[in-house]
Chain A
Amino acid sequence: MFERGLNIAAWLVVAFLVIPLIVIIGASFTTTEYVAFPPQGFTLKWYEKLATQHDFIRSFFDSLIIGIAATIGAMAIGTPTAIGLRMGSARSQALLRTIAMMPLTLPTIVTGVALLQIYYLTEIDAPWTAVVLGHILVTVPYFVRTLGAGLEAFDPSLVEAAESLGASRWRIIFKIMLPVLAPSIFAGMIFVFITSFDQVTISIFLSGPGMMPLPIRIYSYIEFAIDPMVAAVSTVLILFAFAIVVGLQKLLGLERAFGA
């Protein structure tokens, strides 16, 4: 009986998690000019509006470009870091790993503000660079963690086997190590990209005129209008996130991907 109760409680919590998102998705189809749930009528006009909303389209591409740049940057810095963190004594590894993960443990708002201040101080006016660097800072730990997990799980006797069979160093790297590590690398890239794409706190402080990542665009839109178009763009992002999680599940299994 208690177990029944626990079961019901669990599903109620799931409902709590899911219902707000369902509400948004549903509201995006309403014919009314305000957000209504259940939606009144069914229309795709808000999606149509979204498709022609230039500033949103612009922001989408801004976020895309920043995301790609952040991914490249996080990989460039994160790869040697993940390899290096596996060397040395267990104690030193633990300490260095904690340091490497610091951007995750420090409050994002503090990091955002700190970066803002440095840009004021140095009077550098390069919002794109600033935002990308800021995004790399808060995403590198994710890449390091995911790649690190992949390296941890990598069976070293595979390399020895390849060596004994006559493989040259390059063949080992390209035919054995990279293919086996590919899922971890790929998952890391996805994490970095998504985190950058979703990043609000850092972007709020560092973005400037002429460059507004999508979340910030939505944020400013919300502040003066809550029409269903925001529900439409939200729906797109929610479904996108859902698709990625399912993809990660297929690729890597959720435990490995999320480092649980």
Chain B
Amino acid sequence: MSMMATARQVEAPPRLQPQAAPASLEVSDLSLFYGSVPALDAINLSVAQGEFVALLGPSGCGKTSLLRSIAGFVQPQKGAIRLGGRDVAGLPPRRRNIGIMFQSYALFPHMTVMENVLFGLECRGVSAAEARARAEAALKRVSLSAFGDRRPKQLSGGQQQRVALARAIVIEPDLLLLDEPLGALDKQLRLQMQTELKMLQRSLGVTALFVTHDQEEAMTMADRIVVMRDGVIQQVDEPETLFTRPRTAWVSDFVSAGNIVQGALEEADGFYRVEIAPGSVFAAAADGVKAPADAALFVPFHAVSVAPDPASPLEVSAIRLLGLAIELQIAYGAHVIRVQLPSSRVHDFPLGSRVRLGAEAADCRLLPKG
């Protein structure tokens, strides 16, 4: 028995190694048609190693189709998918080395937790001893070490999800795909899992792509968000950028970034302005956008200034408590302007009080309708 072998036996149990070689995901000109309907229309996307990217959009936008194309369950008609530099478009799912967390968890009901986690390793011909060690490490990472002998139906929803996660990461995938993984959990568990998932992904350094329709979730977890609509990518940006600089009015509406002020835009000195009521004016620089027909005026919630004005026809129609902030809603015509203020100001503008609204032109932007 050599010294080396003894030394190895004394080492700590093997951990899952963070990704070694730089791998990234590149999707080029990907198009998927069901009949003549395009589910994906010339999608281009680049994800860096270790990034956590969210695919966000309403149902039918193509986010799930994109995920399944990358996974290999559906074959796009056009375009390329490169994973870690290699072209995977022609490969069946089992050769792509991608870990997947399904919405329904898809745990094998007739196998124990441990057998579920071992499955991917068995398929790869990993030796029983090494497989066992790696599986135990994975279960430890998701805090389920003691549950190895249980069956999926004996576990709670949150626990089942962790098993699904362990099973996906134990194979040391080049990419982790998550399909609305937190949908079935109650709010408390959801928030907790968001943090845990993010931390796990960070510590593993694995590239992750996850699908959600919940904009808050995407904001919390993702390094970058891909907003999709009808098979087309609308915007890819970090969460803050999405919030402060949505590319179109639709995106702004979808992520609830701010107000889209309704009303006819008038040109004045290189600015476009809307007056929703005497004294309440919003303006933004033209900035190259084709105005006025195709444009909409965007004002972030926190950028709206409110001042009491007994002469104004606008009044506070609703107040929402949002924890640390409050939101005032002021109706004009058939529309609503929403204003966010620190909650300390909750008594400044009671229901029904008359106010005048405005905003710094620098905070506002002209957006294409989109």
- Nearest chain B CB to A57 CB, angstrom units: 40
- A160 & B171 in contact (Cβ 8 Å cutoff): no
Which residues in chain B, 82-107, are within 8 Å of chain A measured between CB atoms?
92-100, 102-104, 106-107
Bound CA–CA A163/B171 (angstroms): 13
- A166 & B124 in contact (Cβ 8 Å cutoff): yes
- A165 & B167 in contact (Cβ 8 Å cutoff): yes
**Which chain A residue shows the least CB distance to B99?**
A164
Residue interface mask B96-121, A partner, CB < 8 A = 1: 11111011101111100000000110
- B167 & A155 in contact (Cβ 8 Å cutoff): no
Bound CA–CA A157/B171 (angstroms): 18
- A160 & B94 in contact (Cβ 8 Å cutoff): no
- A163 & B92 in contact (Cβ 8 Å cutoff): yes
Residue interface mask A163-187, B partner, CB < 8 A = 1: 1111110010001100110100000
Secondary structure of the A side of the interface?
helix
- A252 CB–B CB distance under 8 Å: no
Which residues in chain A, 42-73, are within 8 Å of chain B measured between CB atoms?
none
Residue interface mask A117-134, B partner, CB < 8 A = 1: 000000000000000000
Bound CA–CA A13/B73 (angstroms): 55
- B123 CB–A CB distance under 8 Å: yes
Question: Which chain A residues lie closer than 8 Å to B102 at the CB level?
Answer: 157, 160-161
- A9 CB–B CB distance under 8 Å: no
- A246 CB–B CB distance under 8 Å: no
- Nearest chain A CB to B138 CB, angstrom units: 13
Bound CA–CA A166/B97 (angstroms): 7
- A226 CB–B CB distance under 8 Å: no
Question: Which chain A residues lie closer than 8 Å to B96 at the CB level?
Answer: 164
| Given A165-B171, A166-B120, A166-B124, residue A160 in contact with residue B108 (CB < 8 A) | no
Which residues in chain B, 335-352, are within 8 Å of chain A measured between CB atoms?
none
- A160 & B104 in contact (Cβ 8 Å cutoff): no
Question: Which chain A residues lie closer than 8 Å to B107 at the CB level?
Answer: 161
- Among B94, B109, B110, contact of A166 (Cβ-Cβ < 8 Å): B94
- A165 & B94 in contact (Cβ 8 Å cutoff): yes
Number of A residues with CB within 8 Å of any CB on chain B: 18
Bound CA–CA A71/B117 (angstroms): 37
Question: Which chain B residues lie closer than 8 Å to A237 at the CB level?
Answer: none
Bound CA–CA A182/B106 (angstroms): 18
| Given A171-B123, A180-B109, A180-B110, residue A164 in contact with residue B104 (CB < 8 A) | no
Question: Which chain B residues lie closer than 8 Å to A162 at the CB level?
Answer: 108, 119
- B93 & A160 in contact (Cβ 8 Å cutoff): yes
Residue interface mask A208-241, B partner, CB < 8 A = 1: 0000000000000000000000000000000000
- A158 CB–B CB distance under 8 Å: yes
Question: Which chain B residues lie closer than 8 Å to A166 at the CB level?
Answer: 94-95, 97, 120, 123-124, 171
- A165 & B119 in contact (Cβ 8 Å cutoff): yes
- B71 CB–A CB distance under 8 Å: yes
Bound CA–CA A153/B57 (angstroms): 30
Question: Which chain A residues lie closer than 8 Å to B171 at the CB level?
Answer: 165-166
- A160 & B110 in contact (Cβ 8 Å cutoff): no
Bound CA–CA A171/B98 (angstroms): 18
| Given A164-B93, A168-B94, residue A157 in contact with residue B119 (CB < 8 A) | no
Question: Which chain B residues lie closer than 8 Å to A168 at the CB level?
Answer: 94, 123
Bound CA–CA A176/B119 (angstroms): 10
- Nearest chain B CB to A22 CB, angstrom units: 38
Bound CA–CA A90/B106 (angstroms): 26
- Nearest chain A CB to B64 CB, angstrom units: 12
Question: Which chain B residues lie closer than 8 Å to A171 at the CB level?
Answer: 123
| Given A165-B120, A166-B123, residue A158 in contact with residue B93 (CB < 8 A) | no
- A167 & B110 in contact (Cβ 8 Å cutoff): no
Question: Which chain A residues lie closer than 8 Å to B97 at the CB level?
Answer: 166
Question: Which chain A residues lie closer than 8 Å to B106 at the CB level?
Answer: 155, 157-158, 160-161
- A160 & B73 in contact (Cβ 8 Å cutoff): yes
Which residue, B93, B98, B124, has most C-beta atoms of chain A within 10 A? B93
- Nearest chain A CB to B179 CB, angstrom units: 9
Question: Which chain A residues lie closer than 8 Å to B108 at the CB level?
Answer: 158, 161-162, 176, 180
Bound CA–CA A176/B115 (angstroms): 12
- B104 & A167 in contact (Cβ 8 Å cutoff): no
Bound CA–CA A176/B106 (angstroms): 11
Residue interface mask B1-23, A partner, CB < 8 A = 1: 00000000000000000000000
Which residues of B pack against A, CB within 8 Å? 71-73, 92-100, 102-104, 106-110, 119-120, 123-124, 167, 171
Closest 9 CB pairs of A and B: A165-B120, A166-B123, A161-B106, A157-B106, A163-B93, A164-B100, A166-B94, A179-B110, A157-B102
Q: Please name 9 pairs of A and B residues whose Cβ atoms are closer than 8 Å in the assembled complex, sorted by A.
A: A155-B104, A157-B102, A160-B73, A160-B106, A161-B102, A161-B167, A164-B99, A164-B100, A168-B94
Which residues of A pack against B, CB within 8 Å? 155, 157-158, 160-168, 171, 175-176, 179-180, 182
